[in-house]
Chain A
Amino acid sequence: MPPQITPPGRNRGGPAARFGTEKVKPKDMKKAIGRLLGYIGKDKPKVALAVICVLISTGTNLAGTYMQRPIINCLGGAISAGDTMRYVMLMLLAMAGVYLTGVIAMMIQQRVMIRVSQNTLKRIRDDLFGKLQGLSVRYYDTNSAGDMMSRFTNDVDNIGLMFDSTILQIFSGMLTLVGTLALMLRTNLPLTVVTLIIAPLVARVAAAIAKNTRKYFGRQQAALGAVNGYIEETISGQKVVKVFNHEAKAKEEFAKLNEDLRDVQVRANFLGGIMGPCMNALSQANYTITAFVGAMLTFFTKLGKIGASSFAALDIGGLSVFVTYSRQFSRPINEISNQMNVIMSALAGAERVFAVMDMEPEAAHDTNLVNPERIRGDVVFNNVTFGYNPDKTILKNISMYAHPGQKIALVGSTGAGKTTIINLLTRFYDINSGEITIDGVDIRDINRETLRENIAMVLQDTHLFTGTVMENIRYGRLDATDAEVRAAAVTSCAHMFIKNMPDGYDTVLTGDGSNLSQGQRQLLNIARAALSKAPILILDEATSSVDTRTEQHINRGMDALMENRTTFVIAHRLSTIRNSDAIMVLEHGEIIERGTHEELLEMRGRYYELYTGIKELE
C-alpha cells in the first residue's frame, strides 16, 4: 500500500512526534472512546456506509489476489489452448470486475470518512472553544496559554488523524489479517505454519527497535528544546546582545548546544531510520523461506511424492498466490502496531480536551437573580476578605464605598491587592467573606453578564485583536456608528496617530497590535472604554506608557469620560489621581490610609512618602 500523503499543516512534530517523547497513555480508554463516538453524532450513517465500503474493498482485494491461482494453474497445466484462453479471459474479466468494485468502494469510503472526520473535528473544536469562553478567569490565570493552545492544535489534530484513516485502517488491517489467514490455510497448511512462526518474530523485532528509538527521540527532543530555547531568548534579546558586544560569547554558547544536539540527533534518526530496512529484510527473508518451502512442496507434489489430496499438496498457482499472501500477512501487523500509537495519542489528546470541557464553568446563574433595569453605580465593599488560595489571604476586611459619579483611586505596591479588588468587583473571582453591593444589591445576585456589561475596563496589559483599528475600538460597543468610534478616538487622543496610519481607521492591526507603540495601544484601549456606556469605569494603570503631555490631553477627555460614571483608578503616577474623590492606600491587603489628596498629604503618612518620592512603589 503506498503511503498516504500528509497535508502540509499536519505534521508539525516531524519524526519526533511520530515516536513521541513519552509514552502517552489515556487513563480511561473506554470513556474517551465513548465520548468521541458521541461527537460523530448525526454522521453515524456515514460511518456505517464507510464500514460497509471497507468490508467490500478488503474482500475484493483478497479475492482478486486469490483469483490469480486458477489462472496460473490453468496456464501451467495447459489443457487445450482454446478452452484455457477462454477460461483465462473469463477469469480476468471477473477479476477486473472485482477490482473495480474494490476501488470504487475504497473511493467512497475515503471521501465519506474525510467528511465525517472534519465534521467531528469542527464539533469538538467549537465545543471546546465555547466551553473555554465559559471558564472562569481563575482557570486562565492558573493555566499557561501555551498549554491551552496545544489542546486546540496538537490534541485536536491527533484526534483528526485518528478519524481520518486510523480507525478504518485498523479495521481493514484486521480483516485482511483474518482473510489472508483463511485463504492461506485453504491454500496450504505447512506453508501457513511457516508464516505464522515468522510473523510474530517480525513484530518482536519491530517493538524492540521502536523502544530504543523512543528513548533516543526523547533525548533529541530535550536537546532540541535546549537549542530552541537558547535561540528564542538570544534572538529576542538580540539588541542587548549587540549593545554589550556579546555576539562572540553567544556564538560560542550556541555552538556547544548545537554540538550536543548533533550527537543525539544522529543517534535518534539512525535508530528511527533502520526500522524500515530491518522490517524490509525480515519480510524478504519470510518471502524467501516461504518460496523455498513452497517450491519444495510444489516440486514434490508435481513428482507425485505428495498426494494431490494431501494437506501439504501445492500447485504452482497456489505457490505464486501464497508468496503474495505471506508478504501481505506481515503488513497489517506492522500497520496495526503503528496505528496503535496514533490511537493512543489521539485518545490521550481527547482526554486532555475533555478535561477542559469538564471544567466547572463560572458558577452558573444563582437563584434569586435580580436584574436591575439600570445600574447607577453605587458600589459598596463591606468587610471583604479574599485569597486566591484558601491558605493565603490577599485582602483583609476591606470596606469602602463609591457613590455614583465618584472617582476612587487605589494606590499601593505590586501585590498589595489593587488589581484583586478589580477582579472581585467584576466577579472574575468571588469573595470568601463579606459582601460587595452595587446599588444595594449583592453582586452575586446580579446576572454576571449584566454586571460586566455595566463595567468598562482599561487594563495595563493592552489587548488588541487582529482586525482594523475601527473594529478594535468598536469592541467596546458593537452597535456604535463610525462617527461614534471616531469621537471616542478623539476623546482618548488616539485620533491623532490613527489618522497618520497608512489606512487610517481601516489599518489592520496584527499580532496583538505589535505595529503600535505601547502608549498607542493604551490609547486604543481607552478609546474602547470611552465608547462603552457602562456606568462603572475601571482604569488599571491605563496610561502608564503614555507620555505626560499626552496624558494631560487625555485627562481633559477623561474628565468628560468619567463624568456621571463611578470610576476606579489604579495608577503608579500619583499625579494622575490627585483630583480623586477618595484615595485608598493599600498595603498587604489592607487599607492603611484613606482620604482626599490634601487630607492624605496632611497626614504625612505612607501616601505622603510616596508622593514626595521618599519611598518607591515596588
Chain B
Amino acid sequence: MNRYLQYIKPYKLYFILGPLLMLTEVAGEIVLPKLMAGMINNGILGGGGTGFIIRQACIMFGCIIIQVSGGISGHYFSVKAAVNFSADIRRAVFDKVQEFSFKNIDKFSTGSLVTRLTNDITQVMNITRMALIMAVRSPGMLIGGVIMAFSIDAGLASIMFIMIPLLGLAIFLLMRTALPRFDSMQKSLDNLNSKTQENITNVRVIKSFVRGSFETERFDEASGELRDRTLNAMKIVVMTMPVMTLAMNITTIVVLWRGGNLVMGRELEIGSLSAIVQYTTQVLSSLMMVSMMIINSSRAVASIRRISEVLETKSDLTDEDAKYKDRLITEGRVEFRNVSFKYYEKRKDKVLGDISFTAEPGKVLGIVGITGSGKSSLVQLIPRLYDPTEGEVLIDGINVKDYSLYNLREGVGMVLQKNVLFSGSIMDNLRWGGEDAPEEEIYAAARAAQADGFVRGFTDGYDMELGRGGVNVSGGQKQRLCIARALLKKPKILILDDSTSAVDTATEAQIRHAFATTLKDTTKIIIAQRVSSVLDADKIIVLNDGRIAAEGTHDELIKSSEEYREIYYSQMDREREVS
C-alpha cells in the first residue's frame, strides 16, 4: 500500500477536502430530524407557536444549504482526487511496462497487461471515488445518528446497540455465503463467453465438420451451469433486502412500544419519539451501506493487487551496471562465447547450449535449422531482448551488458519474426527507424527493401493509412515495410529473423543485393527457412536442438553436414530448376 502514497501525495488536499466536506453534508442531514422534533415539541405542543415554527424552518433551510454545498464540493474534490490518482497510476503502469524486458512481458502476457491497464485501473478509479465519498458519509451517518438518538433519549436509543450487531452479523453471514458463489458464477460466465467467442471465430471448422448440434449441446450445458450458479449466488443476495427491512420494522415497533411507554409516563416528548424512529432507520440503512462498501472494496483489492504486481515487477534486464554507458557500437563484430540459454530458470532443458561463434563486420551470417531449434532465441540475445543464462555475448569485444540499452539497440536493427506495423501512415511507420530522417533517406530505405515500388502504387503513396497491425497490406508487403523500417536505423548489426518468408525469391534476392551495397560495413545475420536465402552467406550456422551442429560456407556444409544436407535437399528440387 505504501507505494500508492506517492500517487496520493500530489493530490493530498483533494483527498482530505473531499471526505471532510462530505462531513458537512452528513452534519446537515443528521440534525434535520432533531430540528423537526423541536418543531413538534416546542412549536405545536409547547408554547413556541408560529414564531418558533418559522424560526425552526429557517434553521432547517440553512442546514439544507450547508448540506448541499458540502455535498457538491465534497464530490468535486473526491472526483478530482480519484481521477488524478488513477490517471497517474495508469501512466506509471504504462511507463513501467515500457521498461519491461521481453521476459517480463512473456510472463504477464499481452492480454493480461492490457486488462490491468484498462479495466483494473478504471475499477480503482471508481472505487476510490466511491470510497472518498462514502468512507466518511456512511459511518458519519451511522455514528451521527447514534449520537443524535442518544442525545434525545439514551435509554430508548440503546435499542440500536442490540439491533446493529444483529443486523451486522446477518449481513456478514449472507455475504460470506454469497461471495464464493459469485466467484464460481463468474467462472462459468467466463467459460460461457470464451465458448461463444471460440464458436464465432471457428465457424468454418464447425460447419465443415457439421458439429453445429454438438456445439449447441455443449453450449446449453454451459448455459445451464451459469444459470444454476447465478441462482445459487443471487438467492442469497436477494435475502439482504427482506432481512434489512425486517430489522428496520422490528426496531420501529420496539422503539414505538418502549417510547410509547415513556411518553405515557411523561418522560419523553412525542416529537422526540418520532425523531428517534427516523434516526434508527437512518442508522440501519447506513450500516447496510458500510457493509456494501466493504464488499466492493474486496473487488478493488483484487484490482489493486493486479496493478501492484506490475508496478512491483523489477525489470530483470537493466543497464544499471553497464560499464560503458556512453559507448556506441562502432564496428558491429558479434561474438558468442559458450552461451547457454533457457527461458525459465526452472526448466531443465536448455533452449541453447554452449554456443560460440563470431560474425564479422560487413559479412553475412546465415542461420538455418528446423522449427524449434533455437534460431530466434539465439539472435534475441544480441540486442539483449533476453540475457543468456551462461556465457557471454560480445559486440566489438565488449559484453552487451556493458552498453547502455539505448545505445545497444540503436546499433542493432532487428526485424522480428512476429512483426507489427502500427496504425498511422506508412511514412509514420517507417519513421520509427529514424525520426528525423529526411524524406529522401526514407525513400532510399524503402527502395533497398523493395518496398518503394508498391508503396507508390497506392493511391495515397507513403501517406496511406495502415489499419491496426497493418492489416491492409499483404504479408510480403508488410515484411518489406518492416525491413525498410529497420534499414532506416542504419544499424551496425542487422538481424532478419525469418523476415522474408512471404517475399518471393526474386524480390528477396534483390533485397539481399541491396544489403551488399547500402549496408556494406554492417554485420548481417539472416535466419531463413529457405536455404536459397543464405546460400551465398559468408558463413552458415546449422542449429539443431539448441546446439551448433555445423558451421561453414554452403559448399563446405553440403559436404560435411548431414543436417544441412537434409534441409537443403528438402528444398533442392526447386532450387535446381531455378538455376
22 contacts between A and B (CB under 8 A): A75-B264, A110-B238, A133-B216, A137-B204, A152-B193, A228-B118, A235-B97, A238-B100, A245-B409, A273-B133, A276-B71, A284-B29, A284-B63, A288-B57, A292-B60, A299-B50, A428-B204, A428-B207, A459-B204, A548-B530, A610-B504, A611-B574
- Give the 4 A-B CB pairs with smallest separation, nearest first: A277-B71, A613-B505, A616-B504, A281-B68
Pick the interface stretch among A193-201, A261-269, A343-351.
Answer: A261-269
Determine if A333 is an interface residue (Cβ-Cβ < 8 Å): no
Q: In the complex, are the beta carbons of B68 and A258 less than 8 A apart?
A: no
Please, which residues of chain B bring their CB within 8 A of the CB of A236?
Answer: 110, 114, 420, 469
A251 to B74 Cα, complex, angstroms: 33
B473-502 residues with Cβ-Cβ distance < 8 A to A are 474, 476-477, 485, 489, 502
Shortest CB-to-CB span from A129 to chain B, Å, is 5
Determine if A142 is an interface residue (Cβ-Cβ < 8 Å): no
New A-B contacts (15) at CB < 8 Å, excluding given A148-B200, A278-B71, A466-B195: A3-B289, A9-B185, A68-B277, A71-B260, A72-B274, A107-B242, A134-B212, A140-B203, A153-B193, A244-B433, A449-B210, A547-B529, A574-B574, A616-B503, A617-B504
**Contact A615-B504, Cβ < 8 Å, known A76-B45, A242-B409, A280-B71:** yes
Q: In the complex, are the beta carbons of B409 and A552 less than 8 A apart?
A: no
Instruction: Render B57-93 as a binary contact track against A, CB cut-off 8 A, 1 for contact.
Output: 1001101100110011011101110111001001100
**Contact A114-B238, Cβ < 8 Å, known A14-B122, A273-B78:** yes
B420 in complex: contacting residue of A9, A237, A292, A578, CB < 8 Å: A237
A422-463 residues with Cβ-Cβ distance < 8 A to B are 426, 428, 449, 452-453, 455-457, 459, 463
Determine if B432 is an interface residue (Cβ-Cβ < 8 Å): yes
Determine if B513 is an interface residue (Cβ-Cβ < 8 Å): no
B178-210 residues with Cβ-Cβ distance < 8 A to A are 182, 185-186, 189, 192-210
B558-578 residues with Cβ-Cβ distance < 8 A to A are 566-567, 570-571, 573-574, 577-578
Q: In the complex, are the beta carbons of A517 and B79 less than 8 A apart?
A: no
A548 in complex: contacting residue of B209, B219, B567, CB < 8 Å: B567
A265 to B124 Cα, complex, angstroms: 14
Residue of A nearest to B482 (CB): A240
Q: In the complex, are the beta carbons of A235 and B117 less than 8 A apart?
A: yes
A213 to B225 Cα, complex, angstroms: 38
A270 to B236 Cα, complex, angstroms: 34
B31-45 residues with Cβ-Cβ distance < 8 A to A are 32, 36, 39-40, 43-45
**Contact A76-B270, Cβ < 8 Å, known A266-B80, A548-B529:** yes
B: contact size bracket: 35 or more
Q: In the complex, are the beta carbons of A129 and B219 less than 8 A apart?
A: yes
**A-B Cβ contacts below 8 A, count:** 421
Residue of A nearest to B125 (CB): A265
Q: In the complex, are the beta carbons of A517 and B372 less than 8 A apart?
A: yes
**Contact A5-B385, Cβ < 8 Å, known A235-B97, A240-B419, A319-B40:** no
Determine if A202 is an interface residue (Cβ-Cβ < 8 Å): no
Please, which residues of chain A bring their CB within 8 A of the CB of B419?
Answer: 240
B410 in complex: contacting residue of A14, A149, A245, A426, CB < 8 Å: A245
Q: In the complex, are the beta carbons of B114 and A273 less than 8 A apart?
A: no
B206-262 residues with Cβ-Cβ distance < 8 A to A are 206-216, 219-220, 223-224, 226-227, 230-231, 233-235, 237-242, 244-246, 249-250, 253, 256-257, 260-261
Shortest CB-to-CB span from B408 to chain A, Å, is 9
Q: In the complex, are the beta carbons of B416 and A145 less than 8 A apart?
A: no
Please, which residues of chain A bring their CB within 8 A of the CB of B56?
Answer: 292, 295
Q: In the complex, are the beta carbons of B214 and A266 less than 8 A apart?
A: no
Interface of A is mostly: helix
B577 in complex: contacting residue of A114, A453, A546, A612, CB < 8 Å: A612
Shortest CB-to-CB span from A35 to chain B, Å, is 19
Interface residues contributed by chain A, number (CB under 8 Å): 155
Please, which residues of chain B bring their CB within 8 A of the CB of A276?
Answer: 71, 75
Residue of B nearest to A523 (CB): B371
Please, which residues of chain B bring their CB within 8 A of the CB of A320?
Answer: 40, 274
Please, which residues of chain A bring their CB within 8 A of the CB of B133?
Answer: 273
Determine if A304 is an interface residue (Cβ-Cβ < 8 Å): no
Q: In the complex, are the beta carbons of A612 and B224 less than 8 A apart?
A: no
Determine if A323 is an interface residue (Cβ-Cβ < 8 Å): yes
**Contact A262-B87, Cβ < 8 Å, known A237-B420, A549-B570:** yes
Please, which residues of chain B bring their CB within 8 A of the CB of A95?
Answer: 253, 256
A245 to B36 Cα, complex, angstroms: 69
A103 in complex: contacting residue of B118, B206, B245, B577, CB < 8 Å: B245
A288 in complex: contacting residue of B32, B123, B195, B212, CB < 8 Å: B32
Q: In the complex, are the beta carbons of B504 and A110 less than 8 A apart?
A: no
Q: In the complex, are the beta carbons of B91 and A258 less than 8 A apart?
A: yes
Residue of A nearest to B578 (CB): A612
Please, which residues of chain B bring their CB within 8 A of the CB of A7?
Answer: 182, 185, 230, 233-234, 237
Please, which residues of chain B bring their CB within 8 A of the CB of A115?
Answer: 231
Determine if B370 is an interface residue (Cβ-Cβ < 8 Å): yes
Residue of A nearest to B196 (CB): A152
Shortest CB-to-CB span from A551 to chain B, Å, is 7
Please, which residues of chain A bring their CB within 8 A of the CB of B212?
Answer: 133-134
Instruction: Render A1-43 as a binary contact track against B, CB cut-off 8 A, 1 for contact.
Output: 1111101110000110000000000000000000000000000
B245-304 residues with Cβ-Cβ distance < 8 A to A are 245-246, 249-250, 253, 256-257, 260-261, 263-264, 270, 273-274, 277, 285, 288-289, 292, 295, 299
Q: In the complex, are the beta carbons of B182 and A118 less than 8 A apart?
A: no
Q: In the complex, are the beta carbons of B25 and A64 less than 8 A apart?
A: no
A111 to B91 Cα, complex, angstroms: 45
A38 to B412 Cα, complex, angstroms: 66
A251 to B97 Cα, complex, angstroms: 10
A148-193 residues with Cβ-Cβ distance < 8 A to B are 148-149, 152-153, 164
B79-131 residues with Cβ-Cβ distance < 8 A to A are 79-80, 82-84, 87, 90-91, 94-95, 97-100, 102, 105, 110-111, 113-114, 117-118, 122-123, 125-126, 129
A612 to B270 Cα, complex, angstroms: 104
B196 in complex: contacting residue of A68, A107, A129, A224, CB < 8 Å: A129
Please, which residues of chain A bring their CB within 8 A of the CB of B573?
Answer: 575, 578
